[in-house]
Structure 1
Amino acid sequence: MDRFSKYLLTGLIGIVALGQFVQVVTRYVLQVPVMGLEETMLYPTLWLYMLGAVNASRENTHIRANVLEIFLKTDRQHTILAIVGEIISLIVGLWLLSWAWDFTQYSWRVWKESPTLYIPTFFSNVALVIGLGLMMLYTAWHLWGHVRTLTGAAR
């Protein structure tokens, strides 16, 4: 899974960078804009954004502002703080996931298309529910690890 995500994210970064390069060359050098390129680039960009967040969740490397850690002295206190943070993240994330699921159902039902190339927007909208679902799985996994550490089961 780790290798697959590396290749997928690298491929998406390459696609987005290539699209932006083509856009700059055609628009500013050749003075001929490519119609629909921005619309096409929306799809890999959204997937890259969501899968990058999933990767940060999987690696547990999200940017955090843990100011309270400065005042905590013991590893047990740090673990309890991590558990509280994971629980709050899980509650908020599951709430957002329910909204994303409703939005995905709406997107499936309406089946809107992009204005220029008529690409179904469902394929970009579904990235939100898949990304949030995977992030919630990894958040629950990290919560489980913190609880095991706190109870001493991880030794």
Structure 2
Amino acid sequence: MPATSEPQSTATRVGGAIAITLDVIGVVSSAVVVGLMFFLVVARYLLGLSVVGLHELIMLAAVALYMTGAVIASRKREHLTVDWIAGNIVNPRTKAAHDLLIALLTVVITCFFIVWAYYMFNWGMKRPQTTPAYQIPLWIPQVAIGVAAVGCFAYAIRDTVQALLRLKRR
């Protein structure tokens, strides 16, 4: 077995574990949003109950869902796509250059996203705020935003490296 197969095998396993984790978080947060919204509607309109703080929990699950969805889309290279342009490029070298341009733009944008998430989290730690009912610190959903920023950045770096390798091969 060649020495290079082990790192790729490890990278494949790590990538697969990350993909499974993201998928589980996405499914669980979707189920929580749908389940709590359904319960909220049933409780309020059929039973006449007002459940305090339920919107806070739905908000936390929704932020996790949105941010996980952004990372999943980045993993699948579906987050930023322009199908018309990419579909009309037939030259492999031009396609690799186009993919490199998109990847580099995504790296720049995600760098801004990371900085913004850091400043938002830092501000939230200096001026701590909590949700009204359950006193959940607002930095919790901010962490999800930061994790999404870093995850999207990592996948943009992956796409940049792969596009560079394809461009060099051609």
Q: C-alpha separation between the residues in 2 aligned to 1:50 and 1:60? A: 15
**Cα offset, 1:77, TM superposition:** 1.0
CA distance in 1 between partners of 2:78 and 2:84 (Å): 16
Cα RMSD after superposing both structures: 1.7
Residue in structure 2 matched with residue 7 of structure 1 by the alignment: 24
The aligned residue for residue 5 of structure 2 is: none
* % same residue: 20
| Alignment map for 1:59-98 (pairs within 5 Å) | 59-62=76-79, 64-69=81-86, 71-98=88-115
CA distance in 2, matches of 1:152, 1:39: 51
**Is structure 2 residue 143 aligned with structure 1 residue 129?**
no
- More deviation in 61-70 or 7-16? 61-70
Render the CA deviation track for 1:98-150: whole Å, top value 9, x for unaligned.
11111111112212111222111110111111110110001101110111111
Partner of 2:126: 109
Structure 2: gaps spanning 5 or more residues: 1-16
Give the aligned partner of residue 52 of structure 1.
Answer: 69
Q: CA distance change for structure 1 residues 4 and 92 in 2, over 3 Å: closer, same or farther?
A: closer
- What SS is found at the alignment partner of 2:82? coil
TM-score, with structure 1 as normaliser: 0.90
Letter in 1 for 2:31: G
TM-score (ref. length: structure 2): 0.83
Aligned equivalents of 2:116 and 2:35: distance in 1? 33
Instruction: Describe the superposition over 1:43-83 as per-residue Cα deviations: whole angstroms up to 9, x where unpaired.
Output: 11101110111111112122522443355331211111111
Aligned residues: 153
Aligned equivalent of 1:118: 135
> For 2:132 and 2:30, how far apart are their aligned partners in 1?
24
